[in-house]
Amino acid sequence: MDQQRTNRHNAVIANISVLNRLAEKSGPPPVYDGVISKDHPYRRQIAGAVLNYVRDIILERP
């Protein structure tokens, strides 16, 4: 269980890095504007940022 959770967190961290680069090029705000690093992953802050980002998208839908 813990290894699966770690793998999922690592995948989210990698994808946030990609999404942030895309946002930088196209204009929307970054998903997470804090430090993204495998050495210091700040997993809870990143998870909270992802949940907030998704919530905001859902609330702004017509």
How do residues 8-54 score in pLDDT, each as one tens digit?
888 888 888 898 898 889 888 888 888 777 666 677 888 888 889 88
Please tell me the predicted confidence (pLDDT) of residue 1: 63
Question: Nearest to residue 37, comparing CAs of 18, 13, 8?
Answer: 13
Sequence-ordered list of residues with C-beta below 8 angstroms from that of 12, at least 6 positions apart, any chain: 46, 47, 50
Encoded tokens for 26: 């196209």
CB-hemisphere CA count at 13 Å for 33?
Answer: 7
pTM assigned to the model: 0.65
55 dihedral zone (left: phi>0; alpha: psi -120 to 50; beta):
alpha
